[in-house]
Amino acid sequence: MSLRTKFILFAVVVHGLLAAMAYFLLQQNKILFLGMELLVLGSIIITVQLYSAFFKPLNLIRAGIESIRDKDFSTKFVRVGQPELDELVDVYNRMIDQLRQERVAQAEKHYLLEKITQASPAGIILLDFDNYIASINPAAERYLNLPAKELTGKPLAALPDAWAQELTQVQTGQPHTFRMNGIRTYRAHRAQFIDRGFQRYFILIEELTEAIIKNERQAYEKVIRMMSHEVNNSTGAINSILDSVQYYTPQIDEEHREDFTYALQVAIDRNKNLSRFMANFADVVRLPAPNKKPVNVQDLLQRLERLMQSQLELRHISFCLKAPAEPLLIPMDEQQMEQALLNILKNAMEAVKQDGHIWVELQQQPLQLIITDDGEGIPEHVRPQLFTPFFSTKETGQGIGLTMIREILLSHGYTFSLETNQKGLTLFTINLL
């Protein structure tokens, strides 16, 4: 039973007794009856005043509670001239002002944090209390190559295979650096914050690719220039000496002349190979900035197909080119891109066994060039090393091919990837945007 109901019942009972006494006095003494009537009337007036005095603050409190429950912090009460009630009004108004200020400040901070998160170049994955993905920012969408709506509400294990494998092993407070598709290098941090009294986590993903490639390029350019200078100086002097020694060949006894000539030729050939070896490295360093002009990509691919036709037929490799009927004119350095695509196709051909297949597909939506082969695939332990300068799995390889491909594509501003999918097919994808 509420306090209001108890008060009303008490007033009804009291005044009912007074009314009964007034009726009894009516029988005995009319003067006392009139006095009793005045007493009852005064009591009713006083009771009404007390009711208003007691319950007006309660109504005020109830109205304030309803405003707070509705999150309406703009409603304030006016003083009524009653000291006790005015004191309550002042306390409520100060509380509402403080709540409104805190709410505005919180909303401004939340808006600022949301804007910073959306504009951040680093990927941010926000997790809920159950460690499921609550939201991701645009940078994380680009890294994962998936829209936020497809990831929200899912665990980290539901991310694309490589991302799931790397991000699920990130420990709180321990940065984790990893490489995707052999070219994109990332560093992930896992941290925590308090939300409504409970711990929540977020994962911050930073891309280090450009900084690492810049540092790598500066390092190997300096080394190659130094090596090239020393080797060229040596080979130049040796070539001069060997050419001079050839004049003495007729003076050698016939018995030893053949061995002398053979040994001399071996030295000359080896010297030329060494010069050619250093020239290949120097070509990577001397790669000029691309001179972009509109190029018909279909014609470029058909020209490469004709160039490799004899080697493909010799190894019984099927080559399938799929491209749009209408010409696609894309700004690029034709000579550099021809060299890069030729290296990619040669790598694919070397990976394919006899009677294998190579598929080249040029897409418009999205604008991509995909070179696929059904070769042996990329071993798991090799994938993180792809596109590392001068890394090669071949016994006699120099690791120049993929390095040059990387430099050409990056200088054009093209993103790319090299991976073996679950079907065992190896795809080299170039985004021509």
Please state, for a pLDDT cut of 70, what percent of the chain lies above it: 85
Let me know if residue 188 belongs to a domain.
yes
**Residue 168, C-beta contacts closer than 8 angstroms, at least 6 positions apart:** 156, 157
Residue 18, pLDDT > 70, answer yes
Q: Same domain for 131 and 20?
A: no
Q: Same domain for 318 and 218?
A: no
Q: Residue 125's pLDDT is what?
A: 92
Q: Residue 296's pLDDT is what?
A: 93
How many whole angstroms separate alpha carbon 386 and alpha carbon 208?
16
Residue 81, pLDDT > 80, answer no
Q: Same domain for 305 and 382?
A: yes
Q: Same domain for 297 and 423?
A: yes
Choose among 282, 172, 275: nearest CA to 232. Answer: 275
Q: Same domain for 301 and 267?
A: no
The tokens of 115 are what?
Answer: 């804007």
State whether residue 158 is helix, strand or coil: helix
How many whole angstroms separate alpha carbon 350 and alpha carbon 333?
26
Q: Residue 182's pLDDT is what?
A: 65
How many whole angstroms separate alpha carbon 81 and alpha carbon 212?
74
Number of domains in the chain: 4
Q: Residue 189's pLDDT is what?
A: 93
Per-chain mean pLDDT for the chain: 81
**When comparing pLDDT for 430 and 240, which is higher?**
430
Q: Same domain for 98 and 183?
A: no
Chain-centre distance for alpha carbon 180: 12
Residue 396, pLDDT > 60, answer no
Domain-ending residue, one of 256, 285, 314: 285
Pairing of strands 198-207, 184-195: antiparallel
Q: Same domain for 225 and 139?
A: no
Provide the domain limits for residue 407: 293-431
Number of residues that make up the chain:
433
**Residue 323, C-beta contacts closer than 8 angstroms, at least 6 positions apart:** 297, 298, 301, 360, 361, 362
Q: Same domain for 97 and 129?
A: no
Q: Same domain for 141 and 222?
A: no
Let me know if residue 225 belongs to a domain.
yes
Domain-ending residue, one of 207, 226, 252: 207
Domain-ending residue, one of 233, 266, 285: 285
DSSP percent split of the chain into helix, strand, coil, nearest 5: 55, 20, 25
**Residue 100, C-beta contacts closer than 8 angstroms, at least 6 positions apart:** 73, 74
CATH number (domain holding residue 307): 3.30.565.10
Tens of pLDDT along 124-154? 999 988 889 999 999 999 888 888 888 888 9
Residue 67, pLDDT > 90, answer no
How many whole angstroms separate alpha carbon 257 and alpha carbon 384?
53
By CB atoms closer than 10 A (0-12, 13-18, 19+), residue 380 is: exposed
Let me know if residue 112 belongs to a domain.
no
Q: Residue 415's pLDDT is what?
A: 86
The tokens of 201 are what?
Answer: 């986590």
Let me know if residue 238 belongs to a domain.
yes
Let me know if residue 341 belongs to a domain.
yes
Residue 230, pLDDT > 80, answer no
**Range with the poorest average pLDDT among 160-169, 200-209, 232-241:** 232-241
Choose among 366, 311, 362, 316: nearest CA to 341. Answer: 362
Q: Residue 398's pLDDT is what?
A: 59
**Range with the poorest average pLDDT among 164-178, 183-197, 268-282:** 268-282
Let me know if residue 168 belongs to a domain.
yes
Q: Same domain for 309 and 387?
A: yes
How many whole angstroms separate alpha carbon 120 and alpha carbon 261?
68
CATH number (domain holding residue 201): 3.30.450.20
Please name the residue that has the structure tokens 């001079």: 244
Residue 373, pLDDT > 90, answer yes
Amino acid, single-letter form, for residue 244: S
Tens of pLDDT along 413-433? 888 888 888 888 999 999 988
Q: Same domain for 339 and 367?
A: yes
Does the pTM of the predicted model rise above 0.95? Answer: no
* Count of CA atoms in the C-beta half-sphere (13 A) of 111: 6
The pLDDT confidence band at residue 362, using thresholds 50, 70 and 90, is very high
The tokens of 401 are what?
Answer: 């091919």
Let me know if residue 38 belongs to a domain.
yes
Let me know if residue 348 belongs to a domain.
yes
Q: Residue 242's pLDDT is what?
A: 76
Residue 73, pLDDT > 90, answer no
Choose among 144, 176, 171, 148: nearest CA to 160. Answer: 144
Q: Same domain for 320 and 358?
A: yes
